[in-house]
Structure 1
Amino acid sequence: MSEIEVHPVLIGRSLSGKTASDETGVSARDIGSKAAQLRLMSRLGLRVPPAFVLPTALCGPVNRSDEDALRQVRDALTMGIRFLEQETGRVFGDPRQPLLVSVRSGAERSMPGMMDTVLNVGLNEAAVYGLMRLYGDPRLAWDSLRRLQQGYGEVVAGIGAGVFEERLAVLVAEEGVAADADLDSESLERLALDYRRAMQGIGKPLPVDPAEQLERAALAVYRSWEAPKAREYRRLNHFEDLTGTAVTVQAMVFGNAGGASGAGVAFSRDPATGAPGVYADFLFDAQGEDVVSGRRLPGDLSLLERRLPHVARELVAGIAQLEAAQKDMQDVEFTVEEGVLYFLQTRAAKRTPRAALKVAVDLVEAKTLTPAEGRALLAGVDLDKIVLTRFAGEEAPAATGIPASPGTVAGRAAFDSETATRLAGQHEPVILIRHDIATDDVAGIAAASGTLTAAGNRTAHAAVVARQLGRACVVGCRALGFAKKDGRTSVTIGDHTVSSGDWLSIDGSSGAVYLGRREVVTVRPEAELAIVAGWGA
């Protein structure tokens, strides 16, 4: 391959608040939208952990196993780690003051949850004790190690999630607690040692050398560009012109550092309706994947306001600053470490067509955008197909969940993406029903008219994808039960059993779930459509 400039682009503000060096002359096409937005947040004065970026130009050569590209990755990682060590005062691989990093993907355009991330890279069983000394928290140290083991195992080593989830479930049952969030430091230490034995037994242990962890994680993130779910997402969203992902390596801040720490996702407006006001999901004592995976039920902004009011005020102010700077609705990921707020990502929020209309109208009415810019914000939105829907008549729902993407739809039950795609191919409306939905289910979400899950939350990746595709979605419906007999899955809603192909109706605006097929009534948002028509061509 021809030589590519891979001097790592340096981003952010150090943990002490000192401005980090910054590169000029690079674009989102070079370093991915995630890194470009980190640079913006840093320039705006928001608190951003320092980071460096390996360019999108290396993605294709890495996926072809080009030797020059692999060497350049190694060299760039070495240079970038030196920068992070200078900024943080910590040392990568040091057992006393360890520097840990996250390794994240980021293409020119956002592809939420479609590529891989590995957190806590640089930790091993020696550095665990250094992390304990830094934070005075054994639970944080062992929790971070077991998360790295699982993240590395799944993303880099290709170990199935079940290897880790089964051991976690056994320990949770033995300890008599509700979930992993309730495990103490001694239990998490045992879990980490159990994970180590399991990985060694499979012949795919976590490397002890942090530099080897980092290199393998970076290559795995580049290679996740070619994962089936990422390719399907690009096809659905007509992103065929994208050439690859960048790799962002960022100093870790720890949302799992106790009761004044946590992780969250926030939108500057309601992504389902476009209504103004911060719309957030937040989990205390958690890392980011806990929120976007939908495995734990988070609280909203009011939870943060009650327990850490100064953080809530800073978050709301920062999100307003980002929306004003970007002139568009924002989707923000953040971490709170021991009462200090860090901004990790911002991007133009995925939204329903109905929300897109309201956001554009609101921003033009507020003179944030010109009418021409408002029309540009609506590019790709079919205004003729924007409708508000409701079910005809009154009926008590069989169950309720969390409304995640609006729309009232009736369809035939499907319990996996393959069935959903097959039924949709027969011109049948489909409700995809799952306990929880991973981003691997993107094809099923796209094929179905609506999605219903027992677990999850409003800002989980699956809900974000459903909104972007304009599909109704209800998550966190605790009345759903799942059983498998003779190889067949069935679902219960209360005392009623739903079989594959049965009719079901869901309301993604209220979270209501109904048995059978209900009639849908549609209404157009004429007032807002008239405003847009008045902007002219």
Structure 2
Amino acid sequence: MILLEAGGRQDADRTVLGGKAFSINRMLRLGLPVPPAFVFPTSVCVEYYDSGKSVPAHVAGELREGIASIEAVVGRRFGDLEAPLLVSVRSGAARSMPGMMDTVLNLGVNPEIAAMLSRQSGDQAFGADTHRRFVQQFTHVVGKKPTDDPWEQLEDAVVAVFESWNSPRATAYRRHHGLPDDAGTAVTVQAMVFGNLGSGSGTGVLFSRNPVTGDAEPYGEWLPGGQGEDVVSGRFDPLSLSDLADSMPAVHDELLAAARVLEREFGDVQDIEFTVERGRLWLLQARSAKRSATAAVRHAVAMRQEGLLTVEEALERVTAEQLGVLLAPHLSPEVRAGATLLAKGEVACPGVASGVVVTSADEADELAAEGKDVVLATPTTNPDDVHGMLAARAIVTEIGGATSHAAVVSRELGRPCVVGCGEGILTPLAGRVVTVDSTVGEIFDGALPLTGVSGEDAALETFCGWVRQHAEGWGAHLIAAVKSV
């Protein structure tokens, strides 16, 4: 067990701490507002599987030690009725696997503690809402209802996170990206902060630059009264970050300042999860942002021009697959004008693809295995849908925003994606062939013809010029895509 304390550890290693705890440690070193935490390194997960899925003997004692360290910082005690401490238990692989493994929030609550939370906070709905959220999430993740003993809850949650390393969705994700199966996940235990604690509270996701369009301006979504899982699950339609600026301008300014610090520190566009508890900002995680092909090229060019990257580093920020997407054919304005529009939503990952609409991940997987092009259209997506998302040519959802699970994973996979088309809009399209043009967020009837590359994107032209100049060296992994057009 490794404590993550104020000032951070100088010897932090991402492969040891996992990505989530590594980012927590780095933010603590920078003096940013982060709830206290401790982490079981990835090696403990490896121990768990090497011993036939038996929890290592040292874990129980180290859980007590780690919780005591958090108690000393926040002045609350785990399982104590008078001043209760609640924690989150989160996974964290060395390489980010967004949404592929499990998390449990609000752990440590039971009916008596829930009642005390309401009395102490002055918010009568707070305790019951927090308890409801915990029971629902714990039951889904662990596979059984929680006991009222916080320590039993904690031990069960840690085992569940270990188990999620080898879940079907995590295994499928690693197979798709060529990641090793024996690396294991870290388990981070962190003090809870509450976005559902009355007015002046909420949760959100901020990107230091737009991960969809590639614009240099910060981009994010904000959900008053929510917790982090509400935003990424796609079950809710969040507000834009401008709403946070209007309601809590000081918090908004602090958040943007932190984003600038983190972008300089990590040398890349940042995806930052944050919570505001009664007007106080807390940062929960920062990682390199998953981005669309368009954004990958534009960010690389912009950061090179700003002096933040060398040409070599800029070329390494874009994959051959991403460049191929940008150089692929697209819908002409004339074809789009003459097509029948079926639905419209928010762009999550630009691109164009056609296929038959299916409404479940299993059906998408089955039909794709038969060689058919499919478009996965669902109310929202969750981590259990990853096999269908991998199989689909495009992904569209009825609800959720540009920081939802569907949006984040589609950008990682390079799948055209449109989100937030409206409840009940997509289900009637099942079995219909459509064309998804997620450069503008539109779904059209039929398989529409595509035209060649227009060459109107200045950043793309600049980037392709760099590829040609360095074809025998830094740009070797990209030259095939440029030669194909």
Taking the aligned partners of 1:282 and 1:67, their CA distance within structure 2 comes to: 39
Taking the aligned partners of 2:119 and 2:140, their CA distance within structure 1 comes to: 29
Deviation at 1:509, TM superposition (A): 2.2
Residues 35-54 of structure 1 correspond to what in structure 2 (within 5 A)? 35-54=21-40
Alignment equivalent of 1:402, drawn from 342, 346, 355? 346
Residues 85-96 of structure 1 correspond to what in structure 2 (within 5 A)? 85-96=71-82
Q: Which residue of 1 aligns with 2:117?
A: 131
Of all paired residues, the percent bearing the same amino acid is 41
Tell me the amino acid that sits aligned with residue 359 of structure 1. H
Tell me the amino acid that sits aligned with residue 97 of structure 1. A
Q: Which residue of 1 aligns with 2:11?
A: 25
Q: Which residue of 2 aligns with 1:219?
A: 159
Could you tell me whether the CA contact under 8 Å between 1:107 and 1:242 is conserved in 2?
Answer: no
Q: Secondary structure at the match of 2:154?
A: helix
Taking the aligned partners of 1:339 and 1:448, their CA distance within structure 2 comes to: 42
Distance 1:381 1:325, change over 3 A: farther
Q: Which residue of 2 aligns with 1:282?
A: 222
Could you tell me whether the CA contact under 8 Å between 1:10 and 1:21 is conserved in 2?
Answer: no
Deviation at 1:317, TM superposition (A): 1.2
Q: Secondary structure at the match of 2:77?
A: coil
Taking the aligned partners of 2:322 and 2:211, their CA distance within structure 1 comes to: 17
Q: Which residue of 1 aligns with 2:3?
A: 10
Is the deviation greater in 298-307 or in 407-416? 407-416
Q: Secondary structure at the match of 1:378?
A: coil
Counterpart check, 1:452 vs 2:396: yes
Deviation at 1:520, TM superposition (A): 2.2
Alignment equivalent of 1:298, drawn from 217, 235, 238? 238
Q: Which residue of 1 aligns with 2:417?
A: 473
Counterpart check, 1:533 vs 2:463: no
Q: Deviations over 1:195-221 (max 9, x none)?
A: xxxxxxxxx442111111111111111
Taking the aligned partners of 2:166 and 2:239, their CA distance within structure 1 comes to: 34
Distance 1:78 1:264, change over 3 A: same
Taking the aligned partners of 2:127 and 2:97, their CA distance within structure 1 comes to: 31
Residues 166-315 of structure 1 correspond to what in structure 2 (within 5 A)? 204-240=144-180, 243-315=183-255
Tell me the amino acid that sits aligned with residue 208 of structure 2. S
Deviation at 1:420, TM superposition (A): 1.8
Counterpart check, 1:513 vs 2:443: yes
Q: Which residue of 2 aligns with 1:163?
A: none
Q: Which residue of 2 aligns with 1:186?
A: none
Distance 1:380 1:44, change over 3 A: farther
Taking the aligned partners of 1:243 and 1:206, their CA distance within structure 2 comes to: 29
Taking the aligned partners of 1:67 and 1:436, their CA distance within structure 2 comes to: 33
Could you tell me whether the CA contact under 8 Å between 1:358 and 1:528 is conserved in 2?
Answer: no
Tell me the amino acid that sits aligned with residue 411 of structure 1. G
Tell me the amino acid that sits aligned with residue 90 of structure 1. R
Taking the aligned partners of 1:91 and 1:332, their CA distance within structure 2 comes to: 28
Structure 1 alignment gaps of length 5 or more: 1-7, 13-19, 159-203, 483-490, 493-497
Taking the aligned partners of 1:522 and 1:261, their CA distance within structure 2 comes to: 48
Q: Which residue of 2 aligns with 1:504?
A: 434
Q: Deviations over 1:228-248 (max 9, x none)?
A: 001001111111265100000
Deviation at 1:10, TM superposition (A): 1.7
Tell me the amino acid that sits aligned with residue 459 of structure 1. T
Q: Secondary structure at the match of 2:57?
A: helix
Could you tell me whether the CA contact under 8 Å between 2:274 and 2:283 is conserved in 1?
Answer: yes
Deviation at 1:260, TM superposition (A): 0.6
Q: Deviations over 1:177-199 (max 9, x none)?
A: xxxxxxxxxxxxxxxxxxxxxxx
Distance 1:404 1:382, change over 3 A: closer
Taking the aligned partners of 1:275 and 1:405, their CA distance within structure 2 comes to: 14
Deviation at 1:419, TM superposition (A): 2.5
Distance 1:379 1:279, change over 3 A: same
Could you tell me whether the CA contact under 8 Å between 1:334 and 1:341 is conserved in 2?
Answer: yes
Could you tell me whether the CA contact under 8 Å between 1:473 and 1:508 is conserved in 2?
Answer: yes
Taking the aligned partners of 2:68 and 2:469, their CA distance within structure 1 comes to: 52
Counterpart check, 1:119 vs 2:101: no
Q: Secondary structure at the match of 2:443?
A: strand
Distance 1:522 1:447, change over 3 A: farther
Taking the aligned partners of 1:263 and 1:522, their CA distance within structure 2 comes to: 42
Q: Deviations over 1:111-137 (max 9, x none)?
A: 111100001111111212332243221
Distance 1:143 1:136, change over 3 A: same
Deviation at 1:382, TM superposition (A): 5.6
Is the deviation greater in 237-246 or in 87-96? 237-246
Q: Secondary structure at the match of 1:361?
A: helix
Tell me the amino acid that sits aligned with residue 85 of structure 1. E
Could you tell me whether the CA contact under 8 Å between 2:171 and 2:181 is conserved in 1?
Answer: no
Distance 1:29 1:407, change over 3 A: same
Q: Secondary structure at the match of 2:341?
A: coil
Structure 2 alignment gaps of length 5 or more: 474-485
Deviation at 1:303, TM superposition (A): 0.8
Distance 1:63 1:150, change over 3 A: farther
Distance 1:67 1:409, change over 3 A: closer
Taking the aligned partners of 2:204 and 2:330, their CA distance within structure 1 comes to: 31
Distance 1:513 1:384, change over 3 A: closer
Counterpart check, 1:84 vs 2:70: yes
Distance 1:383 1:515, change over 3 A: closer
Deviation at 1:427, TM superposition (A): 3.4
Residues 416-427 of structure 1 correspond to what in structure 2 (within 5 A)? 416-427=360-371
Could you tell me whether the CA contact under 8 Å between 2:343 and 2:425 is conserved in 1?
Answer: no
Taking the aligned partners of 1:129 and 1:419, their CA distance within structure 2 comes to: 44
Q: Which residue of 2 aligns with 1:316?
A: 256
Taking the aligned partners of 1:28 and 1:274, their CA distance within structure 2 comes to: 27
Distance 1:389 1:299, change over 3 A: farther
Q: Which residue of 1 aligns with 2:381?
A: 437
RMSD: 2.0
Taking the aligned partners of 2:218 and 2:253, their CA distance within structure 1 comes to: 11
Deviation at 1:269, TM superposition (A): 1.5
Q: Deviations over 1:29-48 (max 9, x none)?
A: 11101101111111112100
Q: Which residue of 1 aligns with 2:359?
A: 415
Taking the aligned partners of 2:412 and 2:82, their CA distance within structure 1 comes to: 45
Tell me the amino acid that sits aligned with residue 210 of structure 1. P
Q: Secondary structure at the match of 2:125?
A: helix
Q: Deviations over 1:285-325 (max 9, x none)?
A: 00011000000100011111111111111111111111111
Taking the aligned partners of 1:63 and 1:217, their CA distance within structure 2 comes to: 16
Q: Secondary structure at the match of 1:313?
A: helix
Taking the aligned partners of 1:143 and 1:479, their CA distance within structure 2 comes to: 25
Could you tell me whether the CA contact under 8 Å between 1:38 and 1:345 is conserved in 2?
Answer: yes
Could you tell me whether the CA contact under 8 Å between 1:62 and 1:223 is conserved in 2?
Answer: no
Distance 1:419 1:85, change over 3 A: same
Deviation at 1:441, TM superposition (A): 1.2
Taking the aligned partners of 1:515 and 1:480, their CA distance within structure 2 comes to: 17
Is the deviation greater in 419-428 or in 355-364? 419-428
